[in-house]
Structure 1
């Protein structure tokens, strides 16, 4: 399904673009794209999970290919930036037991729910915890919305809806941006807010459309070991347990409490909704977990600038994937070929293109980050501990999954209307005979789901875009069908494997845009900013004050 959006957003597709000389991209080496994607997604790399033996093999391979592409080690003569992580491995198979209602309910692990903990301690137990339905679990004073108003959830289990209250809106009008997800709709925000409120457990109710993926993706992404930053305090300020419950499982809980599921879901979308305690209902779960502390690695390469080496342009992409995961037809390796071996291949091919074109005026950083699949940890760590100052980072491009289904006529900006980098993209797309179109599924919140967000939230203008569905061969019908097939059958599963029959023309077309934007930034003396009403503008202005 596709949606019609506000005229201001449609202007992305129709706005005229002033003619501007575009830096011609050297030929993109398709052999590099194929070789790196195929190698990194081979079974011998075991799905590239961070803090496993496969990591050493992965980062060594990337550093070697960066060096062959002409990059210099980017961390004071070293290829790597250490990222301190802690790995928590819960004993699998534990249920969530619900008592006190019309009858006890055992929510089975993986079939009905998937739960884990961020707290670094060997035993996690939530016992006879009162259950409260808190709607969308949002506390947004600037929007006049607080699902926790007048509520004390300390020691309690909160049930939370995924996405924003107005996600069903077919336009971009609403208290939370209408169809477009805000950060309040993301699962990580909901867990963080529940922890701030003192909840013992925070469980999100799964629904495929607002979540943007099926429960199988929730399971494959969260079963087994979980990674977090290894920090003082051991994350004891987090809830004891977090997780997801299937829609059917949630309905059983509501029914046991004598509550009308559909009626309460509808009420939760209205301003002024009051949380509903499920009087008498109790939740219990317990599990042991192994604790292992280990440093992971970001891989950093750089092309030093010719005339302004202390100003930086950034390309980012994540090297990690899910490792050993839920088996499908006997295959338990989540290879992550598209997501994101292809992105690392793109970084390397771009580095080769820069080598061919010659040294840029500004320095260009190529950053392959770890633990994106665990919550953008590698990029967040770099942004908090930058090798190159963020205030001196002009802007950048994030690459997460290449188009391997064929060249598209259109380009989708993920999170449009935010920064002047969109003007750079418009110029690059126009030179390629392509048009910008509105994001077709803004309810999926992709803007908050990849590594550009770690830099954007600290003020660095970053752009993230991808091919649209309007394929040169087959149009939007074929493009949408292939995209939906990937999400349903390969995304975050063992079937995301290298295919020698892929059509790389779309990837090459997109790489020309990645190159054009970065090269224009690298050879210019301009400093693009966020648009005046963007949420990151004030942060950028403060960081650049006096420069």
Structure 2
């Protein structure tokens, strides 16, 4: 779609990029080629620790090589690899007041390889009675450094089972802590522990995760502007109508595609004033481990802004060629983007779904907590979207014209920050949880 500039906007020099520059580089054919590859069945849903995500990383790496990006600061190549620990429950057994407890009525929250407790140990005993709030007690226990044996009344069986199932899938930690206490939960009608003996064993693996990142060095080498999207998704799921692959086309092959096309666009422009970092984050779906590691490699005070892109493959509630910015009120990056888009068919709006906490649900949150004007650009109507985290999040569900135009809009909206004319205000770290 052709951009429409007002004569006043053009005359005032609000845009150094032109409609022709944007449209000639960011084409619907290229958008389709990249997102089709990332969301193809042979990527197996790009779940962390799978061959599918490794294949996706190699594809993104090859594209960065073709574009001609440099590695990120401090890196030798495009792969920013780091280690995490996966904790998987192995065995558990217990006796309470001489009665054997079924493993289905136990779960543990611990980072230890083995927990072995006997009566008269140092463990605190907590009961969740019939009329107690299970979730409130759990939140309080999570902030405790003590070892705690938790006896849960059978009335809470449904909630207990959900947590037991969740914990049974295991967890991932960036670091293992020897200081935190272990919490062992037992569903029982015995709400006193006169005598107990229990043992919990975990399988702990050290595994690798990989961000894929590249750079265009600017004239101001130590002023960084980040463009990002997460390339992981949730992998293989329970089959629906014979389909078990959650392709993650909108979440977030769309955002990753946008980031890659923006890298190619800016590489074809004159050297930018600020250094541009383009990153495909890993493990967003598991808790943002990729963005967390990335943030630790840089001084956040040198990061001028972060344009994180997530789920931009479907039109927003504001109409064609529109998107919204999460945490719009936390800096003035949104108004700066809006100003750059004046006179075009594109628009950026405040997040219309504050109750969804979207500001905290993507990779921007890590850097925002460090004071960076880090926001996520999205267009998904999250309150109505039926394909989110399902096997139906496929390419056929996306509007390719809209996606292409969203990438063009971000190119124009980010121009002032890239060329050094716009510097957004910082996020107040004390107001970010």
Contact 2:124–2:149 (Cα < 8 Å) also in 1 = no
- Report the TM-score, using the length of structure 1 for normalisation: 0.61
Structure 1 equivalent of residue 258 of structure 2: 346
Structure 2 equivalent of residue 24 of structure 1: 18
Closer/same/farther in 2, CA of residues 36 and 290 from structure 1, 3 Å limit: farther
Q: 1:72 aligns with which of 70, 73, 80?
A: 70
Q: 2:206 aligns with which of 279, 293, 296?
A: 293
Q: 2:313 aligns with which of 403, 409, 415?
A: 403
CA distance in 1: counterparts of 2:346 and 2:140, whole angstroms? 40
> Aligned to 1:417, what secondary structure does the other structure show?
helix
Closer/same/farther in 2, CA of residues 496 and 435 from structure 1, 3 Å limit: closer
Structure 2 equivalent of residue 233 of structure 1: 177
Closer/same/farther in 2, CA of residues 241 and 416 from structure 1, 3 Å limit: farther
Closer/same/farther in 2, CA of residues 199 and 301 from structure 1, 3 Å limit: same
* CA positional deviation for 1:202: 9.7
How many residues matched?
393
Closer/same/farther in 2, CA of residues 72 and 438 from structure 1, 3 Å limit: closer
Residue 43, structure 1, aligned to residue 41, structure 2: yes
> Aligned to 1:325, what secondary structure does the other structure show?
strand
CA distance in 2: counterparts of 1:118 and 1:464, whole angstroms? 33
> Deviations for 1:379-424, whole angstroms, at most 9, x for unmatched residues?
01111232xx322211120011222358636432212211021221
Q: 1:317 aligns with which of 223, 226, 229?
A: 229
* CA positional deviation for 1:319: 1.3
Q: 1:196 aligns with which of 144, 157, 169?
A: 144
Structure 2 equivalent of residue 527 of structure 1: 423
Closer/same/farther in 2, CA of residues 485 and 419 from structure 1, 3 Å limit: closer
Closer/same/farther in 2, CA of residues 79 and 438 from structure 1, 3 Å limit: closer
Structure 1 equivalent of residue 157 of structure 2: none
Structure 1 equivalent of residue 111 of structure 2: 119
CA distance in 1: counterparts of 2:40 and 2:290, whole angstroms? 23
Closer/same/farther in 2, CA of residues 352 and 450 from structure 1, 3 Å limit: same
**Structure 2, gaps ≥5 residues long:** 1-8, 118-122, 152-161
> Aligned to 2:329, what secondary structure does the other structure show?
coil
Contact 1:85–1:293 (Cα < 8 Å) also in 2 = yes
Contact 1:223–1:325 (Cα < 8 Å) also in 2 = no
Contact 1:47–1:335 (Cα < 8 Å) also in 2 = yes
**Structure 1, gaps ≥5 residues long:** 1-16, 100-104, 136-157, 162-189, 204-216, 243-252, 258-277, 469-479, 539-547
Closer/same/farther in 2, CA of residues 222 and 513 from structure 1, 3 Å limit: farther
CA distance in 2: counterparts of 1:45 and 1:504, whole angstroms? 20
CA distance in 1: counterparts of 2:390 and 2:234, whole angstroms? 9
* CA positional deviation for 1:68: 1.6
Structure 2 equivalent of residue 159 of structure 1: 135
> Aligned to 1:46, what secondary structure does the other structure show?
helix
Contact 2:222–2:275 (Cα < 8 Å) also in 1 = yes
Q: Of the two, which has the highest radius of gyration?
A: 2
Alignment of 1:74-89 (within 5 A): 74=72, 75-89=74-88
CA distance in 2: counterparts of 1:331 and 1:124, whole angstroms? 43
Closer/same/farther in 2, CA of residues 288 and 55 from structure 1, 3 Å limit: farther
Alignment of 1:165-204 (within 5 A): 194-196=142-144, 198=146, 200=148
* CA positional deviation for 1:485: 4.8
Closer/same/farther in 2, CA of residues 518 and 429 from structure 1, 3 Å limit: closer
> Deviations for 1:443-474, whole angstroms, at most 9, x for unmatched residues?
11111111011111111111223237xxxxxx
* CA positional deviation for 1:484: 4.5
> Deviations for 1:249-305, whole angstroms, at most 9, x for unmatched residues?
xxxx9xx99xxxxxxxxxxxxxxxxxxxx97799x9986543211121111100111
* CA positional deviation for 1:218: 9.9
Q: 1:334 aligns with which of 246, 252, 261?
A: 246
Q: 1:131 aligns with which of 128, 131, 156?
A: 128
> Deviations for 1:41-63, whole angstroms, at most 9, x for unmatched residues?
22322222223333332211111
Structure 1 equivalent of residue 169 of structure 2: 224
Aligned Cα root-mean-square deviation (Å):
4.3
Contact 1:194–1:239 (Cα < 8 Å) also in 2 = no
Contact 1:313–1:518 (Cα < 8 Å) also in 2 = no
> Aligned to 1:64, what secondary structure does the other structure show?
helix
CA distance in 2: counterparts of 1:43 and 1:201, whole angstroms? 45
Closer/same/farther in 2, CA of residues 467 and 218 from structure 1, 3 Å limit: farther
